[in-house]
Amino acid sequence: MRQSLHQENISRIFIENPTICGMCATNGPTCCQCGIKEEELVAPLSEAELRRIQKLAPWVENTTFVVREKNSPFFISEMAKLFPDHPEDIKSSFPVDSFHLRLAQNSIGQCVFLGPQGCLLPKAARPHFCNLYPFWFIGRNLHAFENHLCLALQHRNSIPKMCTELHTHPDDLFQAYLTLCQDWGVAPPSQDLQVEIQ
C-alpha cells in the first residue's frame, strides 16, 4: 500500500530529504500517487493515525481527507502479503465486506496531502506506512520494497546507506513498524529482538 498496497504505487515520504524525495515529488510520480482504479489498495488509516493527524495538523479539519473503503478481496489479499505470519489478524482487523478508512486521493490518484514539494503534513503526523516507505519489516527483518520509480531505491547501494540518505535509522523504522502493527490490529514482533537487515 503506498499509499497503495501495490509495491510500485505505495506510499512513503521522507520529503525532508530534498535531494531524493523532494526531487521525486517535484518530478513525479511519487509513491504518494496510486494508479487509476487502485484506490482500493491505498494503505488503511487507523483511528489512532487519524486522531494523530487531527491533533498535529489541525488545519486538516477544513479538508475532506479521509474516505471509507470497502475491504475488498484484493485489498485483503494484499494486506495478507504484507503480514505473511498473521493471516488471522488480517481477517479479524479487515473482515470481508466491512470497511476501513484511507486517505483521499484526487482525480489522478495523488494523496490529498501531496504538495508540489512533497507531503504537506509534518513527519510526526503522517501515517505509519508513509513514514516507513520504502522500507518494510517481515518479523524483525528490514527489507526495501521493489519500486523502479522510487529514486531512493534507484540510488541505493545498501539498506544502511539508504537509511542514511533518507535521514532515518533501522531502530526508528522498527519503532514505527511496532506502532503500525498495534494500530492496525496485527501482532507485533518482540521488541526485544534485534533488527536484522536483509
Which residues 6+ apart lie within 8 Å of 90 measured at CB?
76, 79, 80, 83, 186
CA distance 3 to 19: 21
Nearer to ligand SF4, 86 or 127 (CB): 127
Distances (CA, A) of 55 to 48, 109, 164: 11, 25, 29
CB nearer ligand SF4, residue 92 or residue 155: 155
Q: Which three cell numbers stand for residue 24?
A: 521525486
Which residues here bind ligand SF4, judged by CB under 6 A?
3, 11-14, 20-21, 24-25, 30-32, 103, 111, 113-114, 119, 121, 126-127, 130, 133-134, 149-152
**In contact, 12 and 20? CB cutoff 8 Å:** no
We find the least distance from the C-beta atom of residue 62 to ligand SF4, in angstroms, to be 16
In angstroms, give the least distance from the CB of 50 to ligand SF4: 12
CB of 194 to ligand SF4, least distance (A): 25
Q: Which residues contact 173 (CB under 8 A, 6 or more apart)?
A: 132, 135, 137, 142, 163, 195
Q: Which residue's CB is nearer to ligand SF4, number 36 or number 192? A: 36
Nearer to ligand SF4, 152 or 186 (CB): 152
Backbone torsions φ then ψ of 49, nearest 5 degrees: -65, -40
Q: How far is the CB of 105 from ligand SF4 (least distance, A)?
A: 9
∠180-40-178 over CA atoms, to 5°? 5
Residue (89 or 153) nearer to ligand SF4, CB = 153
Residue 11 or 46: which CB sits closer to ligand SF4?
Answer: 11
Cβ at position 93, least distance to ligand SF4 in Å: 20
User: Any residues with CB less than 8 A from the CB of 161 and at least 6 apart, and which?
Assistant: none
Q: In the complex, what is the shortest distance from the CB of residue 130 to ligand SF4, in angstroms, rounded to a whole number?
A: 3
